[in-house]
Amino acid sequence: MLQEILDHYNYWIAIMLMMVGFYTVVARGNLVKKIVGLNIFQTSVFLLYISMGKVTGGTAPILDERFTVYSNPIPHVLILTAIVVGVATTALGLALVVRIKESYGTIEEDELDLMDGET
Amino acid sequence: MNTLLAHLPALQVVVPLVAAPLCLLAGRAGLAWIIAFLAAAFATVAAALLAYQTLHHDPISYAMGGWAPPWGIEYAVDTANAFILLLVSAIACLVLVFCRTSIPKEIRAGREHLFYCMYTLCLTGLLGIAITGDAFNVFVFLEISSLSSYALIAMGGQRKSLTAAFQYLIMGTIGATFFLIGVGLLYMMTGTLNMADLAKRIPEIQDSRPILAAFAFITVGLALKAALFPLHLWLPNAYAFAPSGVSAFMAATATKVSLYVLLRFTFTIYGAEFAFANLPLSWVLLVPAVIAMFAGTFSAMFQRDIKRMLAYSSVAQIGYITLAISLGTNAGIMAALVHIFNHGLMKAALFCAMGCIFYRIGSTRIDQLAGLGRQMPWTFAAIVAGGLSLLGVPLTAGFISKWYLVQAAMQSNLWPLVALIVVSSLLAVVYVWRLIEALYFKEPSLGNEAVVEAPMSMLVPTLLLAGANIYFGVDTRLPVAMAENAANLLMLGLGQ
């Protein structure tokens, strides 16, 4: 049992990060903390993808006659795209947080709800 | 000309994609609008040509960049996605005409070109999701359309637009990330991302846990993007506080495209047997769909803001579409596709009409638009046409979709469902009547005496959309032929 967990430690870490991030998004009222949680959540998926590209004993996927076993580069490429998407999401989210702070004067979710309820 | 036609699937997406930065560089509202409009018009023509080709010939497979599938990215066009492409680009084109007049009044001055840039990007994303035959590519386009729509909603000018956009950003990103996890698990097990290839490889290992988990992640992720109850929380505020043109465009297309992807994954990739015989997808979709039909309708009745009311009505309508999908039959898919098309038409018409009213009085609250129907007769006519279509009155497009929906439920011998569909449609009379009563039968409220009909440039697209609701209620050949053909293709699956 313990060995099984240790053998797949990368997946366990990915799942733990996923839950930590997801929990932060749901439970935290501060908008910046929500964005941070979202980031952790997305990062866990990056780890999941990178893990699956690993080939035991494989080297970096650069063509060279000395090596025959390579890691699978496709998941890496895919996740580069996803990282870019993540950066764009974070940037847009933070930009929105700045605008919200400017117009409401707060970035706490419960205070925002209160202010929205009044108008 | 022939080479141009051969590359039509790529141009369908590339032209709006290139137009977006050009709008940004144009720097001026007028020029940016012309660029955006040309791109949307081109997309409409391209989609019509593709639809014609797929309806009369075989599905098209286009190897992006010359890399043969399954290694490269394939653009696979059949009737199902040609239908969606046509809907998305035609609505985008009409709403863009509407935006030319409405947008300068609704967003901060000097930012119009940024709006058109985001709008064309959103169009690119939606077209890309529909046309691609590559599972990961769907995610990329999903995020292109989502990120631009968050920005579009935030441009709404009201303070609440910002919180609505933020809420949508959080929920939308979670949905897209769920989808990404699902696609990752599929790739892990099959080693491919091409949809046709996935469909071939999944049956061999369909009982393995990652494949099942992938299906769950993809379904939940897409349900979030499609705003299926109870994952619809982002939708009412997003539609209510976005600029009118954006509400019209997104209500008609964004959630529909996600539902299309759900259809594609369920039927083409996993296959109907896997989803409906081995797994209880039928119940998983049916129960939320029925709750959505009623919860959406009831919430709509009590809204004081008409845009919010229409948004809740969208939640209910998405319920109908999901209900049709959950039947898992040929007739069900057909009903879903017909309703995707018809609901796009009615919501675009209604949101545009509300945009006309907003343009004149600066509000869409029900107590402020009393009696306006007599002062704005054409806008009122569009609202009546759209409202009747929403209810499913005969001779409107809405009737056709309800007809196929009820027929599909009867074919599956689900009589209680038929009753539920009819009852929830009747309940919708309440909120549509509230709107019509306020507009026509109430005494005009103070300060609105001088209000006149909306400008021609906004009225024409609104009336065209409203007219389409009547036209496709009488002449149903196009949506029915395309939906029928698409349903057969989807049922067949690619794996067999």
Cα B481–chain centre separation? 20
Which pLDDT band holds residue B316 (cuts at 50, 70, 90)? Answer: very high
| Contact criterion met (CB < 8 Å) for A96 and B162 | yes
Question: Tens digit of pLDDT for each residue in A15-34?
Answer: 999 999 999 999 988 999 99
Which pLDDT band holds residue B493 (cuts at 50, 70, 90)? Answer: low
| Contact criterion met (CB < 8 Å) for A92 and B150 | yes
Which pLDDT band holds residue A82 (cuts at 50, 70, 90)? Answer: very high
User: In this complex, which of A25, A52, A99 lies closest to B170 when CB atoms are compared?
Assistant: A25
Contact B51, B83 (CB under 8 A): yes
- Return the residue of B nearest to A118 by Cα: B160
CA triple B112-B118-B124, angle to 5 deg: 140
Q: What was the pLDDT predicted at A46?
A: 92
Contact A28, A48 (CB under 8 A): no
pLDDT at B178 over 90: yes
- Return the residue of A nearest to B146 by Cα: A89
Can you tell me the distance from the alpha carbon of B375 to that of B373, in angstroms, rounded to the nearest whole number?
6
Q: Where are the domains of chain A?
A: 2-118
Q: What was the pLDDT predicted at A23?
A: 94
Question: Tens digit of pLDDT for each residue in B75-94?
Answer: 989 888 899 999 999 999 99
Can you tell me the distance from the alpha carbon of B221 to that of B210, in angstroms, rounded to the nearest whole number?
16
pLDDT at B249 over 50: yes
Place of tokens 């999944």: B202
User: In this complex, which of A48, A100, A116 lies closest to B181 when CB atoms are compared?
Assistant: A48
Question: What percentage of chain A reaches a pLDDT higher than 70?
Answer: 98
pLDDT at A110 over 60: yes
pLDDT at B61 over 70: yes
| Contact criterion met (CB < 8 Å) for A103 and B159 | yes
Averaged pLDDT score across all residues of chain B: 89
What tokens were used for B29? 């509202």
- Return the residue of B nearest to A54 by Cα: B188
Q: What was the pLDDT predicted at B3?
A: 78
Question: Tens digit of pLDDT for each residue in B412-469?
Answer: 888 888 999 999 998 999 999 988 888 888 877 777 777 888 888 888 999 999 999 9
Give the per-residue SS3 of A57-82.
CCECCCCCCCCCCECCHHHHHHHHHH
pLDDT at B481 over 90: no
Question: Tens digit of pLDDT for each residue in B257-284?
Answer: 999 999 999 988 888 888 888 888 888 8
CATH number given to A2-118:
1.10.287.3510
User: In this complex, which of A74, A88, A112 lies closest to B147 when CB atoms are compared?
Assistant: A88
Q: What was the pLDDT predicted at A119?
A: 47
| Contact criterion met (CB < 8 Å) for B163 and A52 | no
- Return the residue of A nearest to B165 by Cα: A96
Can you tell me the distance from the alpha carbon of B316 to that of B298, in angstroms, rounded to the nearest whole number?
9
| Contact criterion met (CB < 8 Å) for A85 and B140 | yes
Residue A52 distance to chain B (closest CA, Å):
6
Buried b (16+ CB within 10 A) or exposed e, A37-71: bbbbbbbbbbbbbbbbbeeeeeeebeeeeeeeebb
Question: Tens digit of pLDDT for each residue in A31-74?
Answer: 999 999 999 999 999 999 988 888 888 888 888 888 888 888 88
What tokens were used for A95? 């930009």
Residue A67 distance to chain B (closest CA, Å):
22
Neighbouring CB atoms inside 10 A of B181's CB total 24
Question: Tens digit of pLDDT for each residue in B371-407?
Answer: 888 888 899 999 999 999 999 888 889 899 999 999 9
Chain A residues touching chain B at CB-CB below 8 Å: 22, 25, 31, 34, 38, 41-42, 45, 48-49, 52, 74-75, 78, 81-82, 85, 88-89, 92-93, 96-97, 99-100, 103-104, 112, 116, 119
- Return the residue of B nearest to A99 by Cα: B162
User: In this complex, which of B147, B163, B173 lies closest to A100 when CB atoms are compared?
Assistant: B163
ipTM of the complex: 0.93
DSSP B109-134: TT-HHHHHHHHHHHHHHHHHHHHB-B
* Average pLDDT of the segment spanning B103-114: 86
Crossing angle for the helix pair B159-190 and A9-27, to the nearest 10 degrees: 160
- Return the residue of B nearest to A23 by Cα: B174
pLDDT at B495 over 60: no
User: In this complex, which of B159, B165, B174 lies closest to A25 when CB atoms are compared?
Assistant: B174
| Contact criterion met (CB < 8 Å) for B184 and A116 | no
**What's the full length of chain B, in residues?**
496
| Contact criterion met (CB < 8 Å) for A22 and B136 | no
Question: Tens digit of pLDDT for each residue in B319-340?
Answer: 999 999 998 888 999 999 999 9
Which pLDDT band holds residue B174 (cuts at 50, 70, 90)? Answer: very high
Can you tell me the distance from the alpha carbon of A15 to that of A47, in angstroms, rounded to the nearest whole number?
9
